[in-house]
Amino acid sequence: APASDMGKLLSKIFGNKEMRILMLGLDAAGKTTILYKLKLGQSVTTIPTVGFNVETVTYKNVKFNVWDVGGQDKIRPLWRHYYTGTQGLIFVVDCADRDRIDEARQELHKIINDREMRDAIILVFANKQDLPDAMKPHEIQEKLGLTRIRDRNWYVQPACATTGDGLFEGLTWLTSNHKS
Positions at the binding site for Mg(2+) = 32, 49
The CA-atom distances, in angstroms, between 159 and each of 73, 89, 119, 147, 168 are 24, 16, 24, 20, 10
- In 3D space, the residue among 117, 106, 173, 118 whose CA is nearest the CA of residue 143 turns out to be 106
Catalytic residues: 72
**Which residues are annotated as part of the binding site for GTP?**
25-32, 71, 127-130
- In 3D space, the residue among 129, 122, 123 whose CA is nearest the CA of residue 158 turns out to be 129
The CA-atom distances, in angstroms, between 28 and each of 34, 58, 102, 137 are 11, 25, 15, 19
